[in-house]
Amino acid sequence: MLLTGAKIVVECLKEHKVDTIFGYPGANVIHIYDVLYGDKAINHILTAHEQGASHAADGYARSTGKVGVCIATSGPGATNLVTGIATAYMDSVPMVVITGNVPVHLLGKDSFQEVDITGITAPITKHNYIVKDVNRLADTIREAFYIAKEGRPGPVLIDIPKDVSMNEAEYIPKEPKEIIRSREGITEERLQGAVDLIEACEKPFIYIGGGVVRSEASDALLELAEKIGAPVASSLMGLGGFPGTHKQFTGMIGMHGTKTSNVSITKSDLILAIGARFSDRVVSNVEKFAKHAKILHIDVDPAEVNKNVVTDHYIVGDIKETLNALNKKVKKIDRSSWINDVVAYKEKYPMTYDKHTLTASTIIGKLDELTDDETIISTEVGQHQMWTAQHFTFNQPKEFLTSGGLGTMGYGLGAAIGAQIGNPTKRVINIAGDGCFKMNLIECATLVNYKLPVMILLIDNNVLGMVRQWQTLFFDKRYASTNLNHQTNFIGLAEDFGMKGYEISHIDQVEDILQKALAQEGPVLVHCKIHEDEKVFPMVAPGESIDALITEG
User: Which residues does the annotation mark as catalytic?
Assistant: 50, 112-113, 162, 466
Amino acid at position 157, single letter = L
**Do 300 and 317 contact (CB within 8 A), yes or no?**
yes
Residue 535's φ and ψ, nearest 5 degrees, are: -120, 160
Question: How does strand 68-72 pair with strand 95-101?
Answer: parallel
Q: Terminal CA-to-CA distance of the chain, rounded, Å?
A: 72
**Do 422 and 52 contact (CB within 8 A), yes or no?**
no
Residue 543's φ and ψ, nearest 5 degrees, are: 85, -5
Question: CB-hemisphere CA count at 13 Å for 349?
Answer: 23
CA distance 501 to 183: 51
Amino acid at position 417, single letter = I
Per the DSSP assignment, residues forming a β-bridge with 433 are 459
Per the DSSP assignment, residues forming a β-bridge with 476 are none
Orientation angle between helical segments 137-149 and 5-15, nearest 10 degrees:
30
CA distance 35 to 7: 6
CA distance 351 to 365: 11
Nearest CA among 36, 34, 30, 47 for reference residue 12: 36
Three-class DSSP category at 382: coil
